[in-house]
Amino acid sequence: MHRTTWIELSSEALRHNVSVVRQLAPKAAILAMVKANGYGHGANWVAEQLNSQANGFAVARLCEAMRLRDSNPQARILLLGTLLDREVLQKCAQSQLDIVIHDLASAKLLANTPLATPITVWLKLNIGMNRLGMSAGEFCDAHHLLNSKSHIAGIQHMSHFSDAEEVDASLTQQQAKKLAELSASLGQHPISMANSAAIIAHPTTHCDWVRPGIMLYGDDPTQRLPAELALKPVMRFKAKIIAMRDVANGDGVGYNRRWKAAMPSRIATVAAGYADGYPRHAPDGTPVLVNDQRASLAGRVSMDLLTIDVSHLPQTAVGDEVTLWGEGLTAAEVGSHCGTISYELFTRITTRVNRYYS
Ligand SMILES: Cc1ncc(COP(=O)(O)O)c(C=O)c1O
């Protein structure tokens, strides 16, 4: 098998991570976030692995929901805030999708759209992100509009935190209070607010449904989980060295010779580039692992290739394996060098990269 550039995806790590969610939030139902193709890991694969541990799944686009529904006829699937019209509402009802209602206009449309099968809605309150979600007044109006309708199977209340990973908990507590108080004033409805950071750092926000995303895939956005609850990386991004060369003191490497050798150096050329999903803007010094030892990027990332300085690893040879992120080098660490986050790195792996699921 000709294999130069691939990701390995570990079901054991995924199941371990969801068990951490379960330990942190023992009473809440788990809505696993599998949008953006399961944060790049493969939504259907993630759903299959988590089938018995997650109580439902959430996606951002109707096409993602439909694909997930095809392979998961029984699963609870939530379509997050999107543009809704009558046709979309009918499709959601036919496919038994829950939907987020994030504005009053959509609530009015839904109230006046007869549906063949009743649908469960998650009303979204804007608690400070100012992205999606209703004001308190609109939220109450939407709730009253939909509460008595026979084509509404149930109403849940949700919101999304803007700063849950911050060390100072006070803003998140204030945001949580907004939804908790408003929801209580409208009767008893299931509440959902906690993303990964809140699951880890704000236990009082767990309520009825938690919505873990990035922590399922092995990144702790708060960096505060104790060692006994450490998450495991699900994705390992790997590539092989396809060329080696010695460069003289002062020689440059790669486009525009951005990296310059400060001494005679040994450069390995690796079969991964920005067309595979490795960030083009990665600076010199971004870490990689060569045979489990650290080395660093030397020169601009190109479409299919990147170059690393392995002067300190004399055993390195053509055919050796390089870990771009995974075990021993987190995507978060790579992201911190590149001015981005693990979420973006995971979701940018492209289709030409082979996938090996274990
Ligand atoms: C509405 C909503 N809930 C939960 C999440 C999960 O967030 P995280 O991946 O940080 O756990 C997201 C992700 O962006 C989201 O948009």
189, amino acid identity: H
CB 282 within 8 Å of CB 319: no
- The CA–CA distances, whole Å, from 276 to 2, 263, 279, 323, 349 equal 16, 31, 9, 14, 6
193 lines ligand 1 (CB under 6 A): no
Identify the helix (H) or strand (E) that includes residue 56: strand 56-59
Give the residue-averaged pLDDT of 86-108. 97
The runs of H, that is alpha helices, within the chain are 11-24, 35-39, 43-50, 62-71, 86-94, 104-111, 136-147, 170-185, 196-201, 331-338, 342-347
Give the Cα separation of 342 and 163 in Å (integer): 17
Residue 60 Cα: closest atom of ligand 1: 16
CB 7 within 8 Å of CB 238: yes
Domain boundaries, the chain: 11-220, 235-357
Is pLDDT above 90 for 81? Answer: no
User: Structure tokens of 147?
Assistant: 């509460």
CB atoms within 10 A of CB 350: 13
Give the residue-averaged pLDDT of 82-103. 97
Give the Cα separation of 98 and 119 in Å (integer): 6
> Is 255 known to be catalytic?
yes
Is pLDDT above 80 for 1? Answer: no
Residue 164 Cα: closest atom of ligand 1: 10
pLDDT tens digit sequence for 293-319: 999 999 999 999 999 999 999 999 999
- The CA–CA distances, whole Å, from 131 to 61, 118, 163, 168 equal 16, 28, 13, 22
Give the Cα separation of 97 and 91 in Å (integer): 8
132, amino acid identity: L
Assigned fold of 235-357? Lyase, Ornithine Decarboxylase; Chain A, domain 1 (2.40.37)
* Whether domain 11-220 has CATH 3.20.20.10: yes
Among 41, 156, 160, 207, residue to substitute to test ligand 1 (most atoms within 8 Å of Cβ): 160
pLDDT tens digit sequence for 263-272: 999 999 999 9
131 is in an annotated binding site: yes
pLDDT tens digit sequence for 201-254: 999 999 999 999 999 999 999 999 999 999 999 999 999 999 999 999 999 999
236 is in an annotated binding site: no
* Catalytically annotated residue among 177, 255, 356, 357: 255
